[in-house]
Structure 1
């Protein structure tokens, strides 16, 4: 059990040395003035030591050895999805706040278990959808509120990446692998952001690859007001990361929706009758913003707000419904 946080800098540990942790999250974390990276853990002590040397912290062999440290307030967990239920649960029971890579769990029941545990422990539990913390989406919402496209009729989104290395865990059955849980969750989360949490799955398809996991998929959703969402994703595609909002008077397109680098200047496209306008926005650091939001929540003196917990559950339920519709 960690000592109760009493203010100051949030002390953070990383349970695992995944590529996303090394490339994106830990570099941003060590730059935060409000947090300190204390240690990183790996099942391989040599790997933990090498990563720790890179970021100026302690390397620890074994995940539980890190979780048990009393000088850690919060844990970042970038393990394969099938391991999240166990290790996020262990971290919460040890009194740590948790930022978990997405998906938080491989199914709705596991997600609900972890949400209940976080509530019982009065700890913050967050799922690392970094795109939600990029300011370009606030600009889109402002444009819609100002009537730039009129009432929304159709939301569409695609997220596809080129084939991964064959030994990636994403191709290995049993690890919470597959395109739906890795890239498909982004268009689904974006649809909830702009439409409604109460989306009905009208149809879905998953294409299964040679290893038995899904490598591509599509879904058709419908909001309670009749707005449709057309979504596509996959591992075997030219890179594409986009969403569009099509209304009665125009369409807004965000061409770099989910993973813009921190130095990228987003360009939003507004198509109206006989007029196309492009808006160049200031760069934003969604990784740093995400970590700052997590630190602020963890240092505020309590656990998740009910609305935040509800978002975790709604996303997990929608993923499960898409999977069930595709199986049918």
Structure 2
């Protein structure tokens, strides 16, 4: 396969700002079709990024010249259209959250395996090398034994018609951005995290959760505290506290592609700043997706396979714990 021929299901903001620029700039990808329920939106996208405008999502899946699809749909639609795409033997790069149901995630994982297709959930921050540097620091014992983790992702308020504020589209802080700090906890503390307690604070007008927090514990008892919100000053960071020091990643989730990333290491009262060269994590997602298709297996297990199920299970458990708390 010389180039992966991509179709796009939906005209979301993240597709316009981030993923379609990455897809069209990649030498191993050709965007051949963009589907939307609104023909004008599809035409606007293809006018900028190329490909053929298509009315409706099914029409994209029916095309024989589409090998894979990118699915930037609202949370309420993502799992269904991912399932339809897999059943038509398309590889799928799905925006997060793929689903908030562990059972549904397992079904999609199994369907992808049965069809021999690659299924990625686009937690693109995992593809940035700054986190591999953190891995190296932990492995080298630079902060001793890991004792706790904190992670938070908050963003300023969005317009009232943003999908994050729409209960009919499964909006809310947990589905919109809460997955980032939860995925961070999974990355460093491993699967099987237990949700000790959680809070989701609903908007009095829409009913969707606008902010929340959760306390998690790993199998060995290591705790993690995560927080997320839709009406806050911007913050996207995590910190690992060890028996002998701290590692802080201040721009963990949205590091600019043209700026070095900075990691803070503190030990024995001495603070170091470690820099990682500029890196485009969106381009890396596309590269890994293409490599997964060409090799017949996902290139990064953190974006596929069991990680999909664990992520959905954790989101489900946070929601359940918040209901019990109320």
TM-score, normalized by length of structure 2?
0.96
Deviation at 1:113, TM superposition (A): 2.3
Distance in 1 (alpha carbons) for counterparts of 2:243 and 2:136: 17
Partners of 1:119 and 1:303 within 8 A in 2:
no
Deviation at 1:57, TM superposition (A): 1.5
Corresponding position: 1:85 with 2:79: yes
2:4 to 10, 16, 20: 10
TM-score, normalized by length of structure 1?
0.95
Distance in 2 (alpha carbons) for counterparts of 1:301 and 1:279: 36
Corresponding position: 1:286 with 2:263: no
Deviation at 1:182, TM superposition (A): 1.1
Corresponding position: 1:326 with 2:322: yes
Partner of 1:218: 213
SS of the equivalent of 2:295 reads coil
Distance in 1 (alpha carbons) for counterparts of 2:264 and 2:298: 39
Q: Which runs of 4+ in 1 moved over 6 A?
A: 303-307
Partners of 2:148 and 2:222 within 8 A in 1:
yes
Give runs of aligned pairs for residues 30-45 of structure 1, distance below 5 A: 30-45=24-39
Partners of 2:36 and 2:56 within 8 A in 1:
yes
1:102 to 82, 96, 108: 96
SS of the equivalent of 2:168 reads coil
Partner of 2:154: 160
Give runs of aligned pairs for residues 1-328 of structure 1, distance below 5 A: 7-209=1-203, 210-301=205-296, 308-328=304-324
Distance in 1 (alpha carbons) for counterparts of 2:23 and 2:84: 22
SS of the equivalent of 2:169 reads coil
Partners of 2:289 and 2:299 within 8 A in 1:
no
Cα-Cα RMSD: 1.4
Deviation at 1:140, TM superposition (A): 0.6
The alignment of Structure 1 onto Structure 2 pairs a total of residues equal to 322
Distance in 1 (alpha carbons) for counterparts of 2:188 and 2:108: 26
SS of the equivalent of 2:149 reads strand
SS of the equivalent of 1:59 reads strand
Segments of 5+ residues of structure 2 without an aligned counterpart are none
Partners of 1:160 and 1:238 within 8 A in 2:
yes
Distance in 1 (alpha carbons) for counterparts of 2:211 and 2:280: 29
Distance in 1 (alpha carbons) for counterparts of 2:36 and 2:269: 57
Distance in 2 (alpha carbons) for counterparts of 1:190 and 1:101: 17
Partners of 2:143 and 2:241 within 8 A in 1:
yes
Distance in 2 (alpha carbons) for counterparts of 1:88 and 1:18: 16
Distance in 1 (alpha carbons) for counterparts of 2:297 and 2:209: 38
Distance in 1 (alpha carbons) for counterparts of 2:88 and 2:109: 15
SS of the equivalent of 1:84 reads helix
SS of the equivalent of 1:323 reads helix
Deviation at 1:108, TM superposition (A): 2.0
Deviation at 1:304, TM superposition (A): 8.6
Partners of 1:254 and 1:268 within 8 A in 2:
yes
Deviation at 1:169, TM superposition (A): 1.2
Deviation at 1:274, TM superposition (A): 1.9
